Amino acid sequence: MSEVNLDDFESSFVDGLKARTLTSCSRWAARRRIIRNVVTGANENYSDKYHPWVRAMHDSWATYNYAMKGAQLGVTEVAINRALYIIDKLKKDVLYVLPTTKTATDFSKARFGGALAMSPYLMNMFTDTNSVGIKQAGPNTLYIRGSRGDSNLVSIPVDELILDEVDRMDQSQLYLALERLSGHIEKHVWGISTPTIPGYGIDLLYQNSTQEHFIFQCPRCSRHTELVWPTKDEPGCIEIIGEHVGDIRCNDSFLKCRECKGRIEHEEKPEFLAKAYWEAFDKNANPNVRGFHINQLYSYTVTPGELVDAYFRGQGNEAAEKEFHNSKLGKPFIGQGARVDDDMLQRSVGGHRKSDPRPSGNRNRSRTITMGIDRGKWNYVEVCEFTYDGYGVDLNANAHAKVLFEGKFLDENFDASVDLLMREWQILACVVDADPGRMEARRFARRFPGYVWLCQYRKGPSARDIVVTDDEDHSPIATVDRAHWLSASLIRFKTDPARIILPCDVSSEYREHMKALTSTYVRDEHDNPKLDFVKTGPDHFAHARTYAEIALPLCAARETNRDIKSFL
């Protein structure tokens, strides 16, 4: 045997012996993954030196695992490592889910493709990597899918489910996928995400878990503690120096022990965090449902000065404040007035009732009655009277609203019900949800030409614009920006005094639907903050309310024969 062959044989033999020791995911990752070092920039074997909290995450075999995290804390690499380890060592299939098909495609090419390209072992492990959504390793498969619009998501037979960026996913698909896995005897679920708002997505999952915090021994006083941000009730672990964004003194801010208040050097983190551990704060939780929370105070690549600068940036800027809480602190956040609450609804209640006499006339330049209908198995309706000084720019902002009626009816009674409502309330403009059951909505529009519009939420129109076109059946379609018009309709409850009056017998269901939408900020395709609304429960009346709001400028444009932009 030649010397070269002997060297190859020896190398293969040694590698085989080492492979037998790779009995945990963390060990396997350190041996099999080549990754760019976050500090030096060099390509080298994977290490948790600068992210020591991920070690126990790699090796958790609880049935359900949920990580609520700040940004750039190495947790996504845990998910990638687990997916590859389970395919390689356990010979099982994995489903890796991201928010959309586009994000799944980009992630497959950049993150998984990059992992394979940098690690010869992984490249040789996979027999077929050509498909973006499927990576084949012999008989085992890694499926990479988006959570929206993939009807096959819940039917893929796997034992490991990884949900990446839970808060940006279609929540109904997420819980459906979790429920489908309940029939598997051996299963493991990982959900990871930067949080958005309380009681939603990853925060909801975390609250029903062990709620574990990363605990370390203070290098000054030797007491066991954690790193937390200061609040009005908690002095926290950072000494804030400086007074505003860009203040050069922010760079002098430093970490300090929660217990002894002694200074902790940022550069010493790899040493004093090396032996840190996860501690469950909910001792009564099911140990098979583990929850991990980690924030950027632990990060080696984010300095205390940078955190303080981000904190000041959020003072007076709602989008930046949300970004600070979500991405830096890894905590859910709701800005002031972001959600309609019980107090807002109560101050909106007037003295009229839904059963009061119907209007006797509705052709008045200072009064318009509109109707909004959100469609589904049940159709949710709002009839609203708007009063104003006259048609003009910002008509909705200058008009006062009075909800005359709200209710619902079964979709099987759609035709008869909407016709009765139109005549009974003398509706001058009605906007109806276009998407479900468009045929019935089209018939409705044909029966009341010029008075009924189908509405669809789309990304095309900007801000307050309403774009009216005819579909292939010549039915009028009003295309609007969802976030803007939801904001315009719900803000009426948030002003003091309120700019909307509800009947004194308004239903509890209507109230709950108004509270189900929370305004927040998301990143658009250009990474700029953009207003959006997160749904935390049934919200049908909130959309009926919005459709009734959209109907006002549509009516004004028809009555005056002017461009609708004249009233926006």
pLDDT confidence of residue 365? 64
Q: Average the pLDDT over 522-527 and give the result.
A: 68
Instruction: Give the pLDDT score at 359.
Output: 79
Q: How many domains in the chain? A: 2
Q: What is the mean pLDDT of residues 14-36?
A: 78
pLDDT at position 525 over 80: no
| Residue 12 counted as domain residue | no
Strands 134-137 and 94-98: unpaired
* pLDDT, position 8: 46
Residue of higher predicted confidence among 123 and 268: 268
d(CA 381, CA 379): 7
Judgement on whether residues 249 and 371 belong to the same structural domain of the protein: no
Residue 282 buriedness (CB in 10 A; 0-12 / 13-18 / 19+):
middle
User: Is the pLDDT score of 547 beyond 50?
Assistant: yes
Question: What is the reported pLDDT for 543?
Answer: 98
Which amino acid, 58?
H
Residue 533, phi then psi, degrees to nearest 5: -125, 135
- Give yes or no: residues 323 and 401 share one domain: no
Are residues 369 and 501 both part of a single domain? Answer: yes
274 and 354 share one domain: no
**Residue 195, pLDDT above cutoff 80:** yes
Domain that holds residue 420: 342-567
Task: Give yes or no for residue 500 having a pLDDT over 80.
Answer: yes
**At residue 18, does pLDDT exceed 60?**
no
Of residues 147, 149, 58, 159, the one with CA closest to residue 97: 147
What is the arithmetic mean of pLDDT over 306-329?
93
What does the pLDDT average to over 465-491?
88
DSSP string, 274-296: TT-EEEES-TTS-TTEEEEEE-G
* pTM, 2 dp: 0.83
Q: Does residue 31 lie in a domain region?
A: yes
For the segment 310-330, the average pLDDT, to the nearest whole number, is 93
Predicted confidence (pLDDT) at residue 134 exceeds the cutoff of 60: yes
| Closest among 247, 206, 190, 194 to 57, alpha carbons compared | 190
Residues 229, 346: one domain?
no
Same-domain check for residues 362 and 316: no
Tell me: pLDDT of 9 over 60. Answer: no
161 and 72 in a common domain: yes
Cα(564)–Cα(562) distance, rounded to whole angstroms? 6
On whether both 346 and 324 belong to a single domain, the answer is no
Tell me the CA distances in angstroms from 340 to 15, 98, 186, 519, 548, one per residue in order. 61, 30, 42, 10, 18
Over 80: is that where the pLDDT of 199 sits? yes
CATH of the domain at 93: 3.40.50.300
> What is the CATH classification number for the domain harbouring 491?
3.30.420.240
In a domain, 152, yes or no: yes
**Does the structure show a pLDDT above 80 at 13?**
no
For residues 285-310, average pLDDT: 97
Same domain, 373 and 316: no
Report yes or no on 10 lying in a domain: no
- Asked if the structure places residue 219 within a domain, the reply is yes
422 and 308 belong to one structural domain: no
Q: What is the pLDDT of residues 32-51, one digit of tens each?
A: 999 988 778 888 999 999 99
Q: How far apart are the two ends of the chain, measured CA to CA in Å?
A: 85
User: Does 2 map to a domain?
Assistant: no
At 14, the pLDDT band (50, 70, 90 cuts) reads very low
Give the separation between CA 11 and CA 14, rounded to whole angstroms: 5
The rounded distance, in Å, linking the Cα atoms of 547 and 433 is 8
The CB-side HSE value for 193 (13 A sphere, CA atoms) comes to 26
- Say yes or no to pLDDT of 117 above 50: yes
What is the tens place of the pLDDT at every residue in 334-372? 988 899 999 999 999 999 999 998 877 656 668 899 999
Question: C-alpha 518: how far from its chain's center?
Answer: 11
CB 63 within 8 A of CB 289: yes
> Taking the alpha carbons of 463, 465, 466, 467 in that order, is the dihedral positive or negative?
negative
In a domain, 543, yes or no: yes
Q: Where are the beta strands (DSSP E) in 487-528?
A: 500-501, 517-523
Tell me: do 307 and 379 sit in the same domain: no
Angle between helices 414-424 and 438-447 (to 10 degrees): 40
pLDDT score recorded for residue 510: 98
What is the Cα 134 distance to its own chain's centre?
25
Residues 405 and 497 in one domain: yes
Identity of residue 108: S
